[in-house]
């Protein structure tokens, strides 16, 4: 152990807190305080702090809407715990979808854009990023989130998310599926279950695989006037924020279906 390591261990949570407070002051003034948030931000895996704060801002903007909260693509559950902590005081159920067998087989619409693991082809990513459901359950138990308000759904989302089997209403969804087919399936389900004024965040928009951007762009084009897509500031990463436009506002965003 070097002399610098103890200082690093002490200062890192404080740096996260400083970063959180600065972004909240400058970009997210409506984001309420939440006990335990910065500790969970410091434990994130694969999700940057900037993206996480955008995600939380979208989550809180939709909490007054009816419906549950859904995360598609859970991995180790670090982001699940962050979201769960923010909805603790609500009656909302947290639905968690993941294959828990790694990435599925890519479709022809998934072209390798950013070779994040240096594997050389998109086909070689099948089965990568595998995690165990127990990791998610352990993280949720560690923050004391009620087990009765968690629905963990292992398997391909095309099989586990069906009418009558998934959440009846959704106020917020975070999609981190990487590939075209599961993202498009999740979006189409949300189209008939997302509350008016509900929000969706889709990770890896225009990053890693072309599939995420393709799925989102197709979805927006297929439902003119119903949704609005926004992108974050460049420093925050690659993701898209989709908001459902209330019926009375749709004439400003195009013809509604």
pLDDT recorded at residue 252: 53
Q: Which pLDDT belongs to residue 5? A: 41
Name residues whose C-beta falls within 8 Å of residue 20's C-beta, 6 or more positions apart in sequence: 37, 38, 41, 49, 53
- Any idea where the domains of the chain sit in the sequence? 46-252
Q: Is the dihedral of CA 137, 142, 145, 147 positive or negative?
A: positive
Whether 6 contacts 39, CB under 8 Å: no
Diameter of the chain by CA atoms?
63
Query: CATH assignment of 46-252?
Result: 3.40.50.150
pLDDT of res. 250:
56
Distance CA 250, CA 166 (A): 27
The residues pairing with 96 across neighbouring beta strands, listed in sequence order, are 71, 152
Specify which residues 151 forms β-bridges with.
95
pLDDT at residue 23, as a whole number: 97
Q: What is the DSSP string of 106-148?
A: PPTT--BS--TT--SSGGGGTT-S---HHHHHHHHHHTT--GG
What was the pLDDT predicted at 256?
41
Predicted local distance difference test score (pLDDT) of residue 246: 78
Q: What is the predicted pLDDT for the residue at 254?
A: 53
The pLDDT, as a whole number, for residue 164 is: 87
Per-residue pLDDT of the chain (257 residues; tens, 9 = 90+): 334 344 434 458 899 999 999 999 999 999 999 999 999 999 999 899 999 999 999 999 999 999 999 999 999 999 999 999 999 999 999 999 999 999 999 999 999 999 999 999 999 999 999 999 999 999 999 999 999 999 999 999 999 999 889 999 999 999 999 999 999 999 999 999 999 999 999 999 999 999 999 999 999 999 999 999 999 999 999 999 999 987 765 555 454 44
pLDDT at 9: 42
Q: How many CB atoms lie within 10 A of CB 129?
A: 18
**Structure confidence at residue 163 (pLDDT):** 87
* Model pLDDT, residue 8: 37
Q: 155: alpha, beta or left, given left = phi > 0 and alpha = psi -120 to 50?
A: left
Structure tokens at 8: 């690093």
- In order of 126, 173, 220, 254, the CA distances from 225 in angstroms are 35, 20, 8, 4
């Amino acid at each position: 152990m070097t002399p610098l390591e103890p200082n690093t261990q002490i200062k890192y949570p404080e740096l996260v807190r400083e970063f959180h407070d600065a972004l909240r002051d400058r970009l997210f003034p409506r984001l309420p305080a939440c006990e335990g948030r910065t500790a969970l931000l410091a434990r994130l895996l694969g999700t940057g702090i900037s993206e996480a704060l955008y995600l939380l801002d979208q989550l809180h903007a939709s909490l007054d809407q009816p419906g549950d909260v859904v995360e598609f693509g859970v991995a180790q559950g670090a982001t699940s715990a962050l979201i769960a902590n923010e909805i603790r005081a609500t009656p909302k159920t947290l639905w968690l979808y993941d294959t828990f067998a790694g990435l599925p087989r890519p479709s022809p619409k998934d072209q390798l854009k950013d070779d994040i693991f240096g594997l050389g082809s998109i086909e070689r990513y099948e089965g990568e990023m595998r995690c165990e459901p127990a990791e998610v359950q352990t993280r949720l138990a560690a923050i004391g989130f009620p087990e009765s308000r968690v629905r963990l759904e292992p398997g391909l989302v095309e099989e586990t998310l069906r009418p009558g089997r998934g959440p009846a209403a959704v106020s917020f969804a975070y999609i981190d599926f990487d590939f075209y087919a599961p993202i498009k399936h999740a979006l189409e389900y949300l189209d008939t279950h997302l509350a008016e004024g509900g929000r969706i965040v889709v990770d890896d928009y225009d990053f890693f695989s072309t599939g995420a951007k393709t799925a989102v762009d197709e979805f927006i084009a297929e439902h003119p006037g119903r949704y609005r897509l926004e992108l974050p500031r460049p420093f925050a990463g690659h993701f898209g924020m989709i908001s459902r436009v209330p019926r009375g506002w749709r004439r400003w965003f195009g013809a509604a279906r």
